[in-house]
Amino acid sequence: MKDFLPRTHFEEEHNMFRDMVRGFVEKEITPNVERWHKEGQPDREVFKKAGELGLIGMSTPEAYGGGGEMDFRYNQVLNEELSNADCGSIVVSFGVLNDLVAPYLAKFGNEEQKQKYLASMNAGDTIGCLAMTEPGAGSDLAGMRTFAKKDGDHYVLNGTKIFISNGMMADFALVAAITDPSKGRAGVSMFIVDADLEGFTKAGPLQKVGLKAQDTAELNFDNVRVPAENLLGEEGAAFGYLRTNLAHERLTLACGSVATSRRAWTLAYKYAQEREAFGRPIIQHQVHGHYLADIATRVTALQAFVDQAVMAHNAGQLDETGASMAKYWTTEEQQDIVTRCLQMFGGYGFMLEYPISTHYLDSKVQTIYGGTNEIMKEIIFRRIAKGGAE
């Protein structure tokens, strides 16, 4: 989809980075998408190649193999180009590494932890995951029931985490657990748990509606003895750590949603030029032309909003409310836009060999993970109720 309004926030270095990422996607991802969908996960080798190009841990220090680049526009470019591979799964897989695991290790890990876990992940040698959600505690993290009890120079970890992206492939997991039940949220800690520890088992990959090439697992911890030195940061500080990254995580989801909406429009536009009905291309029929006009307008508005949010984030001015607005609006719009684009394909849109069907299946989860959109609206409402709209 062309830019109907100029996107003036990118500079020459971002355009050069886009060209590099686009070449990586065309060579290493697009040719493998169909196979990955069947196998249920991408090749580990793709992360190694991404690490060699500096596409993992871009915002983390160069001392640990990162890019040392805090400019979120690079993150935005990466998400946009990955979305053009017609594989939402790979967007999520990279997002877990870049936007969840890497920031926590970089911000709160000690020197030894950064050298061991962050550097190896940035190089693409290891894969990490973030384990927060539980069978009985999704968006309400305060309801978690995974416990870690101190026992000498170890913590004994018990509990279950579910819907964990990258879970099956992960070499280590960042796990949130309650270390002091009497303190509520102030009693939650985070641990780096190696996948080969006794008592740590994985179930999966879980069979999902969409994201077929993205492995999702249930992680079980049965008296897992985690070395005390694998406590990430301070004991009891994990809930606060989680809040520091929410704007970043939700803005990433918003960037991906707009990029997917743009991609869906492009697929529908090209199909409308080629497909004929009643003796002429369907793009010449007003109903389809109006569909395209409507979606182009909506995507342009979404893109302008997200681009502005990216610059606000770079300036340290994107708060929890603004990020929640971006995540909520773009993901809701994505579902409707992709559905309308699929409709233009008629029966072919229901066939899995057409990429629009993959986008349709992948889009639903956007309103669920990263905090459900019901939670996003609650965050926005609370700001309004406190007089924050005046």
Report the alpha-carbon distance of residue 139 to residue 40 in Å, rounded. 26
Distance CA 298, CA 363 (A): 17
Task: From 212, 219, 213, select the one nearest 173 (Cα to Cα).
Answer: 219
Q: Which whole-number Å values give the CA distances from 130 to 32, 48, 100, 134, 167, in the listed order?
A: 26, 20, 7, 12, 8
Strand pairing of 172-178 and 128-131? parallel
Helix axes 88-95, 355-363, angle to 10 degrees: 50
Per the annotation, the verdict on 249 as an active-site residue is yes
Cβ atoms within 10 Å, residue 278 = 7
Q: Which of 249, 320, 332, 374 is catalytic?
A: 249
**Cis before 181 (ω within 30):** no
**SS3 label, residue 57:** coil
188 contacts 236 by C-beta, under 8 angstroms: yes
CA atoms of 288 and 338, how far apart (whole Å): 14
- Determine the 3-state secondary structure of 305 from DSSP: helix
Contacts of 346 (CB under 8 A, 6+ apart): 275
Q: Give whole-number Cα distances, 122 to 10, 143, 176, 230, in Å.
A: 25, 32, 22, 19
Residue 118: name the closest of 171, 79, 74 by CA. Answer: 171
Catalytic residue positions?
Answer: 249
